[in-house]
Structure 1
Amino acid sequence: MEPVAIVGIDCRFPGAPDTGAYWDLLMRGADGVGQVPRQRWDAEAFHSPAGQEGRTNTTEGGFIADPDAFDNEFFTISPREAAAMDPQQRLLLQSAWRAVEDAGIAPRNLAGTRTGVFVGIMGNEWAHLHLTDYANVTAQVGSGNGYCMTANRISYHLDLKGPSLAVDTACSSSLVAAHLAVNALLAEECDHALVAGVNVALTPALSIFYTQAGLSAPDGRCKPFSSEANGIGRGEGVGTVVLRRLRDAIADGQRVYAVIRGSAVNQDGRSNGLTAPNRWAQQEVLGAAYRRAGIEPGDVVFTEAHGTGTALGDMMEVKALGHHHAGRSGKPMALGSVKGNLGHTEGAAGIAGLIKVALSLHHRVVPASRYAAKESRQLKLRDHGLRLLKAPLRLPAGCTVAGLSSFGMGGTNAHAVLESAPAPAARPAPAAGAAPGGIGAAVFTLTAPNAEALRRNLLAQADAAAARRVPLGPLARSSNRVKTGHRHRFATAADDTGELVARLRESAADADLLARLCGGPAGRPRIAFLFTGQGSQYPRMTAALYARSPLYRHFFDEADAALAPHTGRSVRDLVLAGDEAVHHTRWTQPALFAVGYALGRTLTELGVHPGMLLGHSVGEFAAAVLARALPLDGAARLVAARGALMQELPAGGGMLAVRAARADLAEWIEPEPLVGVAAVNGPTATVLSGDLAALERIGAEIAAKGFGTRRLQVSHAFHSPLMRPVLDRFARIAGEVGGTVPEIPVYSTVRGRVLDGEAMDAPYWVEHIGATVLFGDAAGALLAADPTHLVEIGPQPVLSGMVRRLDGPATGADPAHVLPVRGPESAGRDLAEALAELYRGGVEPHWDAAYPAEERVAHPLPPYAFSTRTRYWARHSVRSAATAAGPAAPDPVPHRDAQMASAPTAVRAPDRPAGPADPVTDAVLDAVRLVGGYAETEIRPHDRLYEDLGFDSVMIMELKNRLEARLAGIGTLTVQDLLPRLSSVGDLVAFLRERGASPAPPGHRGGAENQTPREQERTA
């Protein structure tokens, strides 16, 4: 059989709220059993030490804490629906989410995939309590109960398309579910499989049954294979594992806890009783699993037994195991059962054992058996090649094989063979020519449905990172890959783990800081790259980034290699050496091109894809390469020739910045043939260029008129008539290079607008040399296209300030200015901060490019910390032995405990407008509240009915009927009428006003209430 990997685990068992606590409980040999909580039933009322009819012989069992806590808002489930749901469904939803995260997968990334869900479940006591209360059965009560819904609800909320089924084979349910999941993976019915088991004890029914059948331990504890064994103690819990074909898990670099080598399932058939164990069937299922796994019994180092602690059950199991292992008396196989720690978790027993075995193989130690000190002599374990562990068993290096049994009360048996995970495979070498990853710092990300959830999870991540020495790169990369998919996006850059921990805690405590580091993008970002031009250069520009970021270094080297044949010297070496020659035009222009190209390509490699490009003068060459209008080598040849030709021009030219509009300067420029307008950077930001003597005359006259002027430190009069001598020679080179129409919109500073099907070809680049740089016009046109982010590409910020001084566009756009490089000291931190800001704004980065290959490894993060603020529990009273016959009807109304009353009001605040009451709005808000079961202050006009409030088609029908009953003038509504106007509560209010809604007069009966059932069906 092809091996199947366990790649994700989550669980919650008595005394163990999570996987780490579960392992700790096992290693300590601790006891999770205690008194039956009053929330479940009055144990004393049902207790009789003698086990009289209708009574139990125990008041103890293994119970999980807070089974009523459920984060319904996270799953967009209304309070009314949450209150109707079987707690087992609620526990499974949260456990499934956490297990997928533990597998290193963002749960939302599984949406639409062939992921299977296989749930083992035995009890359905919530349904027994609620579906027999006929007066209170609702649509929500129907969908909130039933075995099928335990699996189907996971598939629904995670949008999974693979097989989805619940399995009830009694105590073996969840191991049989694992067997079916393995087969589905091998048959390629699914590519991921979630296997879960769950059990919540709500009534004493099974405790009474165990007592009457002589199976119940008076102290409520299972004592497997012990001389003190005297029956079953009940337990409960939930566990989920994520399975994948081993080859797929290795290919994706996932952590593997353990490997399932083979499994088998069979049935007792007609044996010595329906509920009695059968030795022969058990030994056959063991043999079948061994054969399928391709192992010999002697290969098995330890087995997690079914081990209930009943005299007959333990004896039959030992004899079945002895059939295969009796010959190994010199080296007996270790035997244990987690039921000694938890009690018998019934439908969850198989998953509890599976997780124990997987963790044992993962940690390479098998926990001691809780009752090993008083081993039963009657079982003659040594004669059967078995032994109980009185101390933890350290597993040697290399492959270790283990077994796991789970036997159903009705005779359905299952056994699985597991082995330790293979050694991590060597990481594949990067493809030839691929850019290396790494930006010089890390970006930690986290998402949550709301700010309060974000704060809670920031603290959970901070505590975990502080608790052990964690490498920052793998930790941050795992956060990027796993903690994603929710509306509120948090991102921060850090240089080490200690700084990250402090930042996470500060953000959780400081609402203003959290707001700055969070984003909630409403749509796709529209990103513009702005490439700086001449004047922004300086010695060693971006040298710190070059040293820290392998990714930037790769693209800077690529640009240098393209320039070298045309410059005769390495531009890279000149820049990094701090050579002042970088201010000489022949070097300035190619050096700025190299920086612009390298920074632009670094960002695109990181997944930041611009939809608009603008370059100031020489900055347009790098923009043209990113727009695929010029190839890299062609652009490098052009910009090198441009700089060299300009350097050859005689001195005597200069440039003058004037605080005046272009039109205001016309009277001084027109009479001067050797002076031109070099650039128009804004309405009152003009640069003149030309002969120095002429500029001095003009400057004096302009200054006398009150205009501010400033001489620019340049070697030549760029973009002036003095450039004409180089045009012919440059045109020959440009003709050989060519150019084409850009594939990404370029806002040309030659045209002052976006290029519309125009090529950036030889005539364009020739004109570019002497033409006025129409930056103000081009930037204004770009702003009118409503970008969300302006990313300045250059060695220091120049254009961002110029853009801020422009008049805003008619749309009132207010784009964010993003600066990957802020000056000489900028290293990877500024680039990481820029990437964090873009992520908060809606960009989906290619995160692997941000990390070197050695850091692209999975690192376990704490799973999502769900809110325990809201509680849902039926206030029912199970009858005691003293009451009259017949069950008491449960009250299905949910309660919100005291914790909710003290919860931060920022989570949901009232949003009804102050001032006079609005009867239509109030009627709609009240109807929505009643249908969803929300408190009065929990519904706001901007809430979305589907995404925020968890409405579905059944709830929409009820809402329609309530609106018809509460409002006059709207006539008979149809679902078709409503569906297009259900984006938010406020949208629904506006729609009803358009139909003439008004408060209903006394005695009003809405359309639905006056229809026959058949008419209502047609209306829907």
Structure 2
Amino acid sequence: MAGTRAEPIAIVGMSVLFPGAPDLATYWQNLVSGVDAITEVPPGRWDTDEHYAPGAEPRADRVYCRRGGFVDELAEVDVTEFGIMPAAVPATEPDQLIALKVAAQAIADAGGADRLPADRHRVGVVLGRGGYLTPGLVRLDQRVRTASQLVRTLGELLPDLGADQLEAVRQAFTDRLGPEAPESSIGLVPNLAASRLAGRLDLRGPAYTVDAACASSLIAVDHAVRELASGRCDLMLAGGVHHCHDITFWSVFSQLGALSPSERIRPFHKGADGVLIGEGTGVVVLKRLADAERDGDRIYAAITGTGVASDGRTTSLMAPDSGGQVRAVRQAWEAAGLDPAAPGSIGLLEAHGTATPAGDGTELTTLAEVFGPPPEGTSADRPAAVIGSVKSMIGHTMPAAGVAGLIKAALAVHHGVLPPTLHCDDPHPALARTRFTPIDTARPWHTDARQPVRRAAVNAFGFGGINAHVVLEQVAARPAVEVYEPERVLRLTAPTPEAMAALLDRDDATLLAAGLDERAATPGADPVRLAVVGPTAKRLALARKAVAKGKGWRGRNDVWFVPRPLLGPGGGKLAFVFPGLEAEFTPNSTDVARHFGLPDVADATVGDVGRQGTGVFELGRLLDAALRRLGVVPDALAGHSLGEWTAMAAAGIHAPEEVDAFLAGFDPDELSVPGLAFAAIGAPAEQVLRELSGRDDVVLSHDNSPNQSMICGPEPAVGELVDLFRSRAVISQILPFRSGFHTPMLEPYLDPIRKGSEAYSLHPARLPLWSATTVSPYPAEPAAIRALFIRHLLEPVRFRPLVDTMYAAGFRAFVQLGAGQLGSLIADTLHGREHLVVPAHSPHRAGLPQLHRVASALWADGAAPELAPLLGVPGTAAPVRRRRPIKLDLGGATVSLDEETRRRVGAALTRHRTPGPEASPNTAELGEQGALGAELSALLRDATALASDVVTASRLRRRPGPPNITASAGRGDA
């Protein structure tokens, strides 16, 4: 089957709004963590008391399922950002505004509007969208058709009501639907989901919607790929939007028997019994791969083939047919120039997977025919390929289902992780005839000789037999484009540990939706705080255990739980501590420098005092500046060894440009004392000094902590002492330094440093600075500062006493600004006393993720750092004037009159009216109209009750009905 390949199309930006996922980062976190975002229908969507009737006799207004995927709490848009007046929102379809927001976020994810082609005529958008009864149309239908039907039916039942009285009922009903804005009704035109997006974002290429049922968004991607391949456009947005949960939509699926009676969606499970309806929007930004590589774009994956085919003539319009599916899949693989049945051709298949027996069975038949049986040597532990369906987590998002799967697959290819699928512990028997295996936990996606490329494919098979398939794969290795993808942080507050435990007693999706707003400077004012970086299911389980114990948990496995914060108003103080030279020094700081536009660290060599010292200084200065950008300002500064120089510069005693000039002209060879060695001894200073008593060749250079000291002297003598301590089971080792710092042996070599320091201009310190020589704050007089600078080089570092003294002065939190293990020395010294130590640099991860952990730790302990600058968005203090996001109304449920309106309309109905015999229907007539009365009661509880008040109870015996005004549309006139 392999042949000529179509031109690959790069996915360079993505964004989503799906159940439990307000953005792309949360979506991916939910996917790999296996978050089930299915919930019961929220209030306002449709009335479960009225329509939910499992086991009842089938009827159009009854459904037997009430669980699905919803985004109600996440549907917020700052419309003023797009030049839309808030007054226009109520009469605008919410999905248009959501699509606009998600598309703008996708462009931002691709690098921002500045990276769009200059010729906007070559930028287009295609969205998949169904022609369903959406919230805006429901409200318009209620205003136009339902209100008229109500008034007509009331007039027929109660002919003595005057026109003004009936108009009062109409007005009361329509008032409850919100203000009427005729000028904004253009917002209800369906195709404007794409046109509004193009207009607000100034995209002047093709802009339209397609409706191919559940295949809509993949067919939109196919259209976009063709626009790019033809050369007519240089960048395309494509995706799908679906925010219809009207009861009429549910009624269709209920009458078809497609909804799950067990109210669980279990794709490819042996007992799968139906679908659960979801909603959401997803948008991808596409470019020709060659253009994306030329422009230095971050590329999630490359689309190498698309296929679209219909079932044609089959036994039933609604029954899926494998023939059409097979044609679409093979068409895509032919376009990719690949044989789908070849070994190692595919690693992940994101299936349509609706969990209906007919749908799953037909799809598995298709997969067996196209991809073949499992190759030899595969097993559940080593599958040939993984199969999944995101519907198991968010429900079936209908026209947006394809793009939900495409974005999942692209993220999996990009991150090299195979996500799990849920609720498939007992697979469909037909799965065994395919090469695909479901997994229940995320796994690394390794490439090897068997699968040299991470390649995935996505199915979307629509009602009526329209089928789409997309093939995508990783891009060959090339110079990486640095794009920061921040981890999410869950932040929760509560008044007590017990209240925090109650907050955590929710499913993961609800929990994450409640506490994942990093842009909020203060998620809550309560004292008990919890922060979880990268909140996976495992970390959330650990958080629940930590909270249940009620004791502080600071940082292990990226969880911080603090029942009594150390910082904040009336609390302890915060210190920045700067490390000196370390045995290992490999800065992870390039991403921090690039993100904040700060100077990066120059190359440094361990053991070369000058060059490593320069690197230590530059790293400390960089981290200090980055933390200030996050609004983290310490109460004091301190340093260990040469780190005290960095602290002096951070305090403002030395101007940065003078320090740079000094370091640039510094000769490292002038700081090497011949024949000296340093050694670290795993014992307290008192024990080491006893061994040094009576000797003048070896001295104590550092009192670091209760379990570490350092000595310096001639290398043979230091070696003997190291052997001595080792013989006593004391951990000891020679260090790669020869400087003689912090010993009298450096005195003959001090002239270059003394001269350099005297050339400095000293400035008043902006922050208190503590000395590890005097174990007290620095003096203010310039002469005293210069003298202490020299003493610092000739006397021992007394870091343990310094930490003890600072703790006694109220310091409770210490942030290490640099590489090494300085934080462990502080923790050793303060063992048994409540404190926080967190490093701003880690050898195990890049700089920005580590800063995220610092900010989370400080926040959990009562501080108020801003996380927004880490996300690349303006902080809360930035002078950006915007309105609060508007919460979109996605509902179309029944409305009820409030008490005041009921009283007012009731008075209007009874005014100037004395009913006579001719005004009251007789009992027989009412008996014949009983069914209509019940239907009317379902249509309008309050208004019919008011109308009945004008007729004596003895002469009007209506059959009671359900108690709400139905939001259904499409009823004809009576």
**If the length of structure 1 is used for normalisation, what is the TM-score?**
0.46
**If the length of structure 2 is used for normalisation, what is the TM-score?**
0.48
Greater relative contact order, per chain length (Cα 8 Å cut-off, separation 6+): 2
